[in-house]
Structure 1
Amino acid sequence: MKLCFNEGTTMKNSTLELDLELCNKYRYDLIEIRVDQLNSYLERHSLNDLIKFFNEHQIKPYSFNTLEFVTFRDAIDYKKIKDDLVYLCETGTKINCRNIVVVPSFDVPYTKRQIKEETVRVLNDLADVAEKYHINLAFEFVGYPNCSVNTFEQAYEIVTAVNRENVGMVLDCFHFHSMNSKIEALKKADPNKIFIFHIDDAEDLPVGALRDNNRLWPGDGSIDLDLILKTLKEIGYDRMASVELFREEYWKWEPEKTIKVAKEKTEAVIKKYFTT
């Protein structure tokens, strides 16, 4: 299992340059690059500088985060999404970053059937673009009551309906737990359809009440990470695990402390089931 760092974990107190330096120092295998951090980096450096860094160091790029709220958009907004997709595909091709996280919309007044139809349509349309660049789309459900796709089962049904090699999904432990996704569904899943695995933990709140600031380091909260990891092992998933938190308390830490602790906490949980 390769270890990955998601830049959301240091989002308010770091830069792409510093995250890369520190993640390489602490021997992460992979990094998920935030699009805002990428754009800020390119104001100070060239893309060739980024290519050179990855060529000369152990750590490699894994995904871009995130194309947000891609469903039920008007023509102007949707064109912007597709333009952003092309930009990320072109950049990803140059730095060998082959995955883009895609998130559905919130607060939409539609039925589950309509949500499925729209999401399948949009993912197919975006996948047509990404496919030309040999880029994958990782669809991420969000475990909030007002997200149009908020459980593993719902997301997996959509990804299965799309049925394309370059469309898979993100399994985030926080989102899996927060809306009470069913472990039985994960047990039946095709591991090849899980493109990204986000590992994190959460405070002990009722179903539907958790928000990003309730995330905790892996092993410090109420999520049954052992059950999730055991199930992933059983179904044959061993691609990568990316630590992703959006906790304001951790954003106030020095980035080196955050990145070091993230690695230690993640390894301590994963090593019971996987070799890292």
Structure 2
Amino acid sequence: MTGDLARLSLNQETVRQLSLPALCEALTGLGVPGVGLWREPVQRYGPEKAARLVRDHGLTVTSLCRGGFFTAGDPAARRRALDDNRAAVDEAATVGTDTLVLVSGGLPEGSRDLAGARERVAEALAELGPYARERGVRLAVEPLHPMYASDRCVVSTLGQALALAERFPADEVGVVVDTYHLWWDERVPEQIARAGAAGRIAAFQVADWVTPLPEGVLLGRGQLGDGSVDLRAFRRAVDAAGYGGAVEVEIFNPALWERDGTEVARETAERYVRHVLG
């Protein structure tokens, strides 16, 4: 199976029950070459220490999650968000990834102005893009399913993400193609082609959509092959668009977190071969 895993990356949150050393050991044992990291556990472990650990295991950090949350109306809150995102860029550079995934933020309390909130995202990208580029990091705008628009992400479609990214150089701002968030949109194939033609696909993440969704909806991602998403079609679309980077599995699912993490990692690798490749 090892040869089939050449592009596979396992996001740290998929098996959050594993410590970073245990995750690195599991991935190395399976022949999975990539890992996606999250800021909070990396901060606890220490970014420099995490970088050495990952490097010593021969792994590639495919992304760091997450920056963003740019939409606050209060100027002081926006300044704090920008400072935090500069720190996130620095952490991404330290752990050795060129991709910082951004979740844009939801509507400020009491607001109904989606367009205005998206414009604040653009303003933040304008300020952060050059800072990130100087450090070898690209900002990756991730559109989230519309159910998150009010509280987490006012960027709901790949088209909206591209409209923001295309205001800036491609080496500063790209987009994330995430199957969980985009599978429902019939415009996605043409938007993936558009993103690929412009060199804007910074990351490709996969998870399945299963129903019923849990209360709170954030933790409802399904294991590959358990739901409604044509994962193979997505992979073929990003490949056809010229993307040859990592395929990162990012699943938030308490049922998976309750299981043995190494076994979940093995199952995920097997599901990747079965449902994403081919």
- Quickly say closer, same or farther: Cα 1:194–1:78, change in 2 above 3 A: same
- TM-score of the two chains, using structure 2 as the length reference: 0.85
Q: Return the TM-score normalized by structure 1.
A: 0.85
Alignment length, in residue pairs?
265
Distance (Å, rounded) in 1 between the aligned partners of 2:11 and 2:130: 26
Aligned to 1:74: 74
Aligned partners of 1:269 and 1:162: how far apart in 2? 35
Q: Rate the CA distance shift 1:269–1:187 in 2: closer, same or farther, 3 A.
A: same
1:242 aligned onto 2:256 = no
Give how far 1:5 is off: 0.9
**Counterpart in the other structure of 2:265:** 259
For 2:212 and 2:163, the matched residues in 1 are separated by: 27
Q: Answer whether contact 2:210 2:228 (CA < 8 A) is retained.
A: yes
Check whether the contact 1:202–1:223 (CA below 8 A) recurs between aligned residues.
yes
1:179-194 equivalences in 2 (<5 Å) = 182-190=188-196, 192-194=199-201
Partner of residue 99, structure 1: 99
Q: Show CA shifts across 1:195-239 (max 9, x none).
A: 110011111569xx9933332122221112232222222222221
2:34 aligned to which of 30, 37, 45: 30
The aligned counterpart of 1:5 is 10
Q: Distance in 2 between matches of 1:68 and 1:263?
A: 29
1:114 aligns with 2:120: no
Separation of aligned partners in 2, 1:231 and 1:94:
32
Map of 1:96-245 to 2, 5 A cutoff? 96-108=96-108, 109-147=111-149, 148-178=154-184, 182-190=188-196, 192-204=199-211, 211-245=217-251
How far off its partner does 1:171 sit?
Answer: 0.7
**8 Å CA contact 1:150, 1:179 repeated in 2:** no
Runs of at least 5 residues in structure 2 that lack an aligned partner in the other structure: 1-5
Q: Provide the rounded CA distance (Å) in 2 between the counterparts of 1:79 and 1:119.
A: 13
Question: Quick one: percent identity of the two aligned structures?
Answer: 19
Which letter does structure 1 place at the counterpart of 2:75? A
- Which whole-Å CA distance do the structure 2 matches of 1:146 and 1:270 have between them? 26
**Cα shift readout 1:61-91 (whole Å, capped 9, x = no counterpart):** 2221111422235333333323333333333
Deviates more, 1:183-192 or 1:156-165: 183-192
One-letter amino acid of the structure 2 residue matched with residue 107 of structure 1: L
Counterpart of 2:140, as a letter, is A
Contact kept? 2:207, 2:222, Cα under 8 Å: yes
State the distance in 2 between where 1:7 and 1:73 align: 32
Q: Using the alignment, how far apart are the partners of 2:235 and 2:159 within structure 1? A: 17
Report the alpha carbon displacement of residue 270 of structure 1 after superposing the two structures with TM.
Answer: 2.9
